[in-house]
Structure 1
Amino acid sequence: MSRTARLARLPLGFAGRAALGLGKKVTGFAEEVISDKVQQRTAEQLFSVLGQLKGGAMKLGQALSVFEAALPEHLAAPYRAALTKLQDAAPPLPAATVHRVLAEELGPRWRGRFSEFDDKPAAAASIGQVHRGVWKDGREVAVKVQYPGAGDALVSDLKQLGRLSALFRVLQPGIDVKPLIEELKSRVVEELDYTLEAKSQRAFAKAYDGDSEILVPKVVAGSSRVLVTEWADGVPLAEVIASGDQAERDHAGRLMSTLHFSGPARAGLLHADPHPGNFRMAEDGRLIVLDFGAVARLPKGLPAPIGSLVTLALRGDAEAVFAGLRDEGFIPRDSRLEPQVVLDFLLPMLAPIAEDEFRFSREWLRAEATRLSNPKGPGYALSRQLNLPPSYLLIHRVTMGSIGVLCQLEAQAAWREVLDRWLPGFEAE
């Protein structure tokens, strides 16, 4: 069966099981439409189809998996099991194919650069898989090998998935998939070039060299389709989410937040792929950060207006917040919105830093998702009158993804302290 046919089968199978429900008007979350059994079967088929595709479908599944915390629990459970599998699972390449890519990229005598190389992949990603080896100098290494034809597959899958956005709107209510797909498409060329990823990883590794909280494996060698880095053992963040105790989840969450806000300040880069498959917890308590194919280049750090506007909002200065948002392009110049109404709309989003400590939770995220996505609510109407300037698009998407992971962790910490240290323009009270 062709890739396009496999993708096409997904909405047809869903429609066949939920034809009666799809006749109803969907205005909020999907409990009116989809029974628990249909949810379970659709989740299984979702993984079956997306999991077979090494390109854009899997990448989209990874991106969406961090948002499952926004769904009501009885709907989220079957999707959590299916989507989180996409974070580390994909059909492996045959060893002969792996050897061919290594020969093309590292030379016909590539084996001489390793003292050991394991043909069985240790992990898989959306456009490549990782093998474990030992470099000729004795260092344990991770060898990321890109799938042949990954570029064409990625573009093809994303084009097809763009046509299926209505299906994902039912599976993940309140999340507009189209902008996410467009952003993924815009990054295709960059993510396919492992030399660019190596450059980003070197910048992060240098910035966090010797850090007591964050570990970035150093780059050993590479080419456009092969990347060799030092190996770093740790517990997958998905395991911490599933079975870690509260202290472990709090610790992991605080380090995730620290990476998010400190990366632009220290490396001039924002790690832009915050799904759990890209993180491990080392035995010494450090956060191991993997996969630097997606980054936002911020040589001057995060935009200072973010910190200053958050500070003004927490102080209740509605007029100054309104003026600042208008200057940055979030509010149209001719807007007739009332400043206090805008501030009241924003403050619930700032709850995590309005308190000395805050626990992220699925319940909080669901409440916010409902507030912002219910067409009958005032939050939805107001959000339609605001803009998201292009320069803030990726920062916004990564921040939302990171919040999704913090809610999966249900992590509690003094988040305001992290911002006070790393966010330009922010002043804690």
Structure 2
Amino acid sequence: MTNDKDSKPRKSRVTPVSRTRRFFKLAGMTASVAGNYAGQKIRRQFTDEQTHDEQKAESYDKMAARIVDTLGELKGAVMKVGQVASQTQDFLPKEFSKALQRLQKEAPPMDFDVIAKQIEEELGASHKSLFATFDEEPYAAASIGQVHRATTREGQDVIVKVQYPGVGGSVDSDLKQLRLALKLGGLLKMPKESVDQLFAEIRARLVEELDYENEARNVDLFRGFHKDEPKVLIPAVLPGLSSRRVLTMEYVAGDHVSEVTTERYYQTIINEIGELLFRTMADQLFRFKAIHGDPHAGNFAFRPDGTLIIYDFGCVKKLKPEIVEAYRKSVNAALAEDYAALDRFMIDLGVRVEEMPAVDEAYYALWRDIIIQPFSDETYDFKSGDVHLKVAAKSNTVFKHLASFKPPVETLFIDRMIAGHYWIMKGLGVQAAFKPLLDQYLKTESS
């Protein structure tokens, strides 16, 4: 859910896409991607290495553009998967992750007649009878639904999230077509077993996210987690105006990350917000073992008094205690540069394939030295930070070790959470030395 109150969508309205049209659109996308890949393989036989790399990058760009255009038009499950993929570099070439970031931007809104009908079918009455006021212009539009401002009959300001009709019924066919397109495009750089696990997890999270009653339960859960932190706000749900496909919540306003500037916020406040973000993330991981699974900038807002607001709990990943403990031990071993221990803990974590020989310590050291930068004893300036550039520069080393690693889905969600928070910290311009705070979370076993 976005909180950008000053930039309501002004794009042309769209109407729901039928299942038949969805199928043919996705099938056309798949055929185009497969054709590009086949052409690339043929050209490979007649070109040198440098020319091949250039042609492959160009081919990837074309395939990415076709996929992004199709997913953005169709909305629903496939667009949501594209948004998820844009936040991870784990299983797609970098050209795709970059192109898929376009899907994070606001989608064209749905025609309001469709929204009004959905509200009446879900809540048993029209929006005019249920609410004192209801803004027909959407506050935000996204992949599986859109948000409207409203006022209850009691005068409370609320936002109403309405799911697009038919989204749930297209999940399985959408995922099947998307997976086929990625496979035929030679884009899935993971073993089949890992791909099966990944798509099964994506499906499970999507099904949960489409259930707004489940999201309401998640909201209550996380409000309980952070109840003792006065500067962490999570908007409450209004159960009487909510259902499986309509979710009404109190309106809690804040500034988008792009509005947090040194002209409006003291740097000390920005740094305090950064520490609060870090503690919130670490608490969810190490204490509560349940993490906010959609950590993009639109789901966080801020206030000049240092308040952090968290939106959208449709995607929540609950973690097994043994995974969290193995993760804690792995981070400790990496910090201590004990790479033999790190290799053992990576096996415990399920990341490293036990049957394969121990991984070269130099490989672990390479990634440790890059990722550790924001967590040293010295103040790190996230605005000028270049961890993402160094990760991208060394991404080719990952493919040389694919046989040794098979990351479980749990770690992909953890990595996604950390990466999402890195980008938010960077957008805010946080300056902090997180090492002492990190040590507090790492020094004792998870309970």
Which residue in the other structure is 1:224 paired with? 244
Which residue in the other structure is 1:146 paired with? 163
1:50–1:58 Cα contact (<8 Å) kept: yes
Which residue in the other structure is 1:132 paired with? 149
1:28–1:173 Cα contact (<8 Å) kept: no
User: For the residues of structure 2 that align with 1:103 and 1:49, how far apart are their CA atoms?
Assistant: 30
Which residue in the other structure is 2:205 paired with? 187
1:11–1:197 Cα change, 3 Å: same
2:168–2:210 Cα contact (<8 Å) kept: yes
Deviation at 1:325, TM superposition (A): 3.1
User: For the residues of structure 1 that align with 2:408 and 2:59, how far apart are their CA atoms?
Assistant: 41
Which residue in the other structure is 1:237 paired with? 257
Secondary structure of the corresponding residue to residue 136 of structure 2: strand
Gaps of 5+ in 1: none
1:18–1:33 Cα contact (<8 Å) kept: no
Matches within 5 A, 1:20-419: 23-24=43-44, 32-33=54-55, 47-67=68-88, 83-108=100-125, 111-165=128-182, 178=195, 180-209=198-227, 211-221=229-239, 222-237=242-257, 247=267, 254-264=275-285, 267-298=288-319, 303-337=324-358, 340-341=361-362, 343-348=364-369, 349-360=371-382, 363-371=386-394, 373-374=395-396, 377=397, 380-389=399-408, 391-403=410-422, 406=425, 411-419=430-438
1:407–1:319 Cα change, 3 Å: same
Moved more, 8-17 or 265-274: 8-17
User: For the residues of structure 1 that align with 2:211 and 2:416, how far apart are their CA atoms?
Assistant: 22
Code of the aligned partner of 1:223: S
Q: Percent identity, aligned pairs only?
A: 31
User: For the residues of structure 2 that align with 1:138 and 1:265, how far apart are their CA atoms?
Assistant: 40
Code of the aligned partner of 2:165: P
1:29–1:173 Cα contact (<8 Å) kept: no
TM-score (norm 2): 0.75
User: For the residues of structure 2 that align with 1:400 and 1:29, how far apart are their CA atoms?
Assistant: 32
Secondary structure of the corresponding residue to residue 33 of structure 1: helix
Gaps of 5+ in 2: 1-19
2:254–2:301 Cα contact (<8 Å) kept: yes
1:54–1:127 Cα contact (<8 Å) kept: yes
1:188–1:406 Cα change, 3 Å: same
1:72–1:366 Cα contact (<8 Å) kept: no
User: For the residues of structure 1 that align with 2:372 and 2:219, how far apart are their CA atoms?
Assistant: 31
Deviation at 1:102, TM superposition (A): 1.7
Deviation at 1:168, TM superposition (A): 7.8
User: For the residues of structure 2 that align with 1:313 and 1:237, how far apart are their CA atoms?
Assistant: 31
1:314-353 alpha-carbon deviations (Å, 9 max, x no partner):
2233343333333444444444316745642552333332
Moved more, 193-202 or 271-280: 271-280
Code of the aligned partner of 1:365: H
Code of the aligned partner of 1:92: P
